[in-house]
Structure 1
Amino acid sequence: MKLKHISHFQNHSNFKLFGLSPDKEEIHSFELTNNNGMKVLLTNYGATVTSLQVPSSYGNLTDIVLGFDNPNSYIESYNLPSAPYFGTTVGRYAGRINKGRFTLNDKTFELAGNNNGNALHGGNIGFGQKIWDVTDLTDQSVTFHLISENLEENYPGELQVFLTYTLTEENELKLEYKATTTEDTVINLTHHSYFNLNGHDSDVLDQEMFIDADKMLETNSDNIPTGKFTALDGHNFDFRTTKNCPASIDNSFVVNSNVEIAAQLFSPKNNLKMSVYTDQPSVHIYVGGNCFNILKGKENVNYTPVSGICFETQNFPDAPNQAHFPNSVLKKGDEYQQTTIYKFENIK
């Protein structure tokens, strides 16, 4: 496939220069709009959502994702003790891999132990720290493209990834991922926006959550799956009955198969709800940590550990080491596909 260089789109009305990388490479931003007034801002640094403005029932636009005003802040955030991954695309493998090691086709691959000796979110330099190319751009969609070289972060195979973001007239942000590889490899891509339906300058503790899951992955003290499952009957994290967001959560919920809506977030204050649709087996819910009470976000806002909540639709963490977990291997000649939709509606 012949790819268009990003400069091909420089005259497009929703294409702008966002800033420069430390080595003076241009980083761009892209604005998607629909006829309802909804706006999404993205950057090709990490194929990242930087702003998601949704009309409330009161008629005003609310920016409901955490982020930064410039690329330098995104770049510097990866130097924090634990990067927040605001709005980014996580790969080559989202979540943790036990001891940074897996075996594929009788060969063992050693990854960076960037999280207490375990591999997390693709390693030291994951997909969120890459400047992606753009292959297609319209008023309502943008397609990002990345080539991950063979043995980058010691993952086998050259991986070609395409990610299309589409803003629909139904106020859906649709994410469609496709990937191919030159050698058998493992893959698990996800989106890492921190959502806050009250606006990115508040907290999520008075928002309510629903998750259509009756079990979650059991994990050890390093948050590595043990291979077992925790039943949610009577558990604090049983969100089949809607309840308020917890102040701290970092767990993978097993999405009930064939459900229409995997998870939902509700803001009584803004009369807004977000529904999460996915074809992935899990949604990883994360609140807490990684904002450190020291991060200055967009509009000079101080972000706290309860400023946002992540709904990371993905395969199970450590699936390459757990034979009974869903398959995480992408074979040469096959295509990885994933679709996730975040839909926004006013509560009647």
Structure 2
Amino acid sequence: MEKNNISHFKSVHNAKLFGIMPGGNEVWEYKLSGRGGMEVCFINYGAAITSLKVPTADGKKTDVVLGFDTLENYIKSYALQGAPYIGAVVGRYAGRIKGGRFRLNDNDFQLSKNHGNNTLHGGVTGFGQVLWEAELQGSSILFSYTSPDGDEGFPGELTVKVIYTVTDDNELLIEYKATTTKDTVLNLTQHSYFNLEGHSQTIEEQELFINSSKLLETNAENIPTGFILNVANCPFDFSRPKKCPYKIDTSFVLQETVLPQASLFSSATGLLMSVFTNQPSVHIYVGGSCSGKLKGKDGADYHELSGICFETQNFPDAPNHAHFPNAELKKGEEYYKYTRFKFEQIKKQDL
């Protein structure tokens, strides 16, 4: 594999060498900070968020995302059954595609299968396992990657840009842009696990709010059946804040004009994280099968309740359901999606 020449970042104050890939490519870590006190670190392996530190009322900063201390642990995590995709950008298609198949422009496409008989989060080698080009731009960092035509079975050479921006109001804005040389399908998301009490704690007492009255019904393989269910009075009704579930792997239907679309609150730290997006759903994920197998940052032992994902995205398996939001990206068009995570100190009675 050809060595990726990004050595010009060695002289940048907010960048440092994070590790070396088995093929010799360098992986770098970059830091952005805002006047509000928030600090966010990223690596160009998977365009992943490695830490997100937010000021708390005690004058300290809490790292509210899961991550690893070494590149080796990021790479090893993808070899686990039920890989966690910690902190990574997910693509080409976030979520599951039934049978790894879809039809586009009267052509059938077979994708690589990496989750039983299905394709999950882009296939065997998704965007979380590749090296991205990185460019610091003031309060933003731009990650770029070109996915070749036929990558994991997807049509078209796809050029992707992910822009992270840290604002002075303690917000993290994530913007996704993409173009393609052939009509294709695309669904990008960010797969950070959040814990407002610190990545070594548990989320079980934190309160989840989802501004949604509907979710996607799924089958035993967690593939959407095509039916959309009302959440009223069911265990997954989070239209009023309540404690995080022990396990959940569910897509909720969103409306762009109903804000915020979701939030997480910790009474222990007083931190409120609000989620804003132009995506049609948020996939909430808690649990997994990696408990006891993951050694996180600072020696933390990660488990099922270490964090919660807010995967803002299109519906899983949308290419196979005509009534789901359109997942097609046509040649000559530009894909644009965004998600904004806002952090603020608040009292519970003010919610």
Bin of the TM-score, shorter chain as denominator length: over 0.9
Equivalent residues in 2 for 1:183-262 (5 A)?
Answer: 183-262=182-261
Query: For residues 79-90 of structure 1, what are the structure 2 equivalents within 5 Å?
Result: 79-90=79-90
Percent pairwise identity: 55
Distance 1:188 1:168 in 2: 25
| Alignment gaps of 5+ in structure 2 | none
1:308 aligns with 2:307: yes
Q: Following TM superposition, by how much is the alpha carbon of 1:139 offset from its aligned partner in structure 2, in angstroms?
A: 4.5
Q: Which residue of 2 aligns with 1:46?
A: 46
How do residues 86-165 of structure 1 correspond to structure 2 at under 5 angstroms?
Answer: 86-134=86-134, 136-165=135-164
Give the superposition deviation at 1:36: 2.4
TM-score where L is the length of structure 2: 0.96
Q: Distance in 2 between matches of 1:10 and 1:263?
A: 38
The answer to whether the 8 Å contact 1:14/1:31 transfers is yes
- Structure 1 match to 2:27: 27
Q: Deviations over 1:35-57 (max 9, x none)?
A: 22211010000000000011111
What's the offset of the Cα at 1:127? Answer: 0.2
SS at match of 1:143: strand
Contact 1:293 1:305 in 2 (8 A): no
Q: Which amino acid aligns with 1:274?
A: M
Pairwise CA RMSD: 1.2
Q: C-alpha offsets along residues 123-160 of structure 1, whole Å, 9 cap, x if unaligned?
A: 000000000002x3134210000000000101000000
Determine if contact 1:5/1:133 at 8 Å carries over to the other structure.
no
Q: Is the Cα contact below 8 Å between 2:102 and 2:319 reproduced in 1?
A: yes
Say whether residues 1:62 and 2:62 are aligned partners: yes
1:112 deviation in Å? Answer: 1.6
The equivalent of 2:270 in structure 1 is: 271
**Residue 340 and residue 5 in structure 1: after superposition, are their counterparts in 2 closer, same or farther (change >3 A)?**
farther
Instruction: Tell me if the contact between 1:37 and 1:54 (Cα under 8 Å) persists in the aligned partners.
Output: yes
**1:17 aligned counterpart, secondary structure:** strand
| Structure 1 contact 93–189 (Cα < 8 Å) conserved | yes
In 2, are the aligned partners of 1:9 and 1:137 still within 8 Å (CA)?
no
Paired letter, 2:288: G
The whole-number CA distance in structure 1 between the counterparts of 2:145 and 2:10 is 19
Instruction: Please give the alpha-carbon distance, in whole angstroms, between the structure 2 residues aligned to 1:217 and 1:342.
Output: 23
- The Cα shift of 1:257 comes to 4.0
Give the secondary-structure state (helix, strand or coil) at the position aligned to 2:11: coil
Distance 1:5 1:261 in 2: 41
Match of 1:286 in 2: 285
SS in 1 for 2:128: helix
Name the amino acid aligned to 1:48. A
Aligned residues of 2:211 and 2:259 also touching (Cα < 8 A): no
- TM-score, L = length of structure 1: 0.97
